[in-house]
Amino acid sequence: MRAVVGSSRRSAPYRLGLVVAAAALAAAGCAGGGDAGGEAAGEPLSVWQFYGDESMATGKPFYDLVGRYEQQRGADVDIRFIPYDDFNRTLTQAAASGDGPDIALISAFDTAAMADAGVVQDLSEQVQAWGQQDAYFPTSWESTQADGRTFGVPHLADAYAVYYNTAMFAEAGVEPPKTWAEMESTAAALAADGRAGLAVSGIEGAEGATGLQMRMLAGGAEPTAIDSPAGHAALESFQRMVSGGALSEGFLTWNEEDAKNQFATGQAAMMINSATYVSILREENPDLQWSVAVLPSDVSGQTVLSAENLTIGATSDQPDQAWDLIEFMQQPEELATYLPERNKLPARDDVPGTAEDPVRAVFAEQLQQAWAPDAALAPHNNEVLTALQAALQSTISGTPVPDAARSAQATIDEALATS
């Protein structure tokens, strides 16, 4: 295996894929695609990804997975790491010049736009012959679709749930909250002596809106509708938790790693975070007593999905070999080895070991209720989330909820109007 390496990508589950403007500009140049019958004997298969290089914890498991394919198939694969912020632009430009990869691992919510731009191939025939699409969680599979055709295969998933300190819960005589009213009262009951009841990221930008987004979904509001009764209720919920001491006002400076550290060190009794931290807590904090519960549910209990899809580049002249590698990487037995090392979840429901691990089983249950931006929202999702975080920060700083929501809604509406 040969690798072309770039600089590190900052990994965060909230990053739900921005499609760069270059995709639209490159569409005309990409339309010709590659010749499916033009496979060159002995030519290395090229794979582009943004996880990291072989020396990074986020990258090594992917290299190991592809390495097992090379060993078993006697194949030669070149993996190129392109930092996330440069990935879409590099991919669309390469497709336009006829020099794209055989396989591109892309943000799931960029798939429809990449398909529309002619950057990736239609895989409907391969998928139909394969016959495994029903094994995937519906929201993950929906991200592969454009105009009734399939342009990718879900690679993995990530989702959010409630981590809770079982020792603190037992001492306080409380149970994991099932509604957001219970979340507020439980967090308040557990807050004492400088300890918060709940930790969640609230940092400036899209990442800090994830908790508010899930609170809105629970109340029946889409993330694009902050200036609505359910949107107001979500902001008021966070306002009450901060004013009552259940949630530290410092959460507005925390990223998801910071929220994890608050929970891991006992400074918070609960946290809302992604499955990324399951293996990390087990390895770094072996004495911590904790478990996981599904998110509180009012109208719904939806989590936010983060995911990537495996696609075949439009200019690939080795589509059969590329499909063979995709099939290999999606074998449940291979995923059972790969995903725990990658600290992620399966996008399909038949991966061995998931049900036997009580924590990962909760995340698998949570994935049954997963929200993801549709093709129209995906290009603007980060703008929407950034506006939500601004409303949250403004509310905690004392701005009346209706005013904070109205200002954020104007920003959201303006962003969506550019579609």
- The mean pLDDT values, 10 residues at a time, for the chain of 419 residues are 48 37 39 39 89 93 98 97 95 97 96 95 98 95 95 97 98 97 98 95 96 97 97 98 97 97 98 94 96 96 95 97 98 96 93 92 92 91 96 98 98 91
DSSP labels, 222-284: -TT--SSHHHHHHHHHHHHHHHTTSB-GGGGG--HHHHHHHHHTTSBSEEEEETTHHHHHHHH
Q: What's the confidence (pLDDT) of residue 375?
A: 85
2-158+306-371 has which CATH code? Answer: 3.40.190.10
Give first-to-last CA distance, the chain, whole Å. Answer: 41
Q: What's the confidence (pLDDT) of residue 2?
A: 61
Q: Between 3.20.19.10, 3.40.50.10860, 3.30.420.40, 3.40.190.10, what CATH number should domain 160-304+376-416 receive?
A: 3.40.190.10
Structure tokens at 82: 């392109």
pTM: 0.85
Do 109 and 309 contact (CB within 8 A), yes or no? Answer: no
Is 303 strand, coil or helix? strand
Q: What's the confidence (pLDDT) of residue 205?
A: 94
Q: What's the confidence (pLDDT) of residue 289?
A: 98
List the beta bridge partners of residue 46.
78
Structure tokens at 131: 């016959």
Q: What's the confidence (pLDDT) of residue 103?
A: 98
Q: What's the confidence (pLDDT) of residue 60?
A: 96
| Residue limits of CATH 3.40.190.10 in the chain | 2-158+306-371, 160-304+376-416
Q: What's the confidence (pLDDT) of residue 44?
A: 97
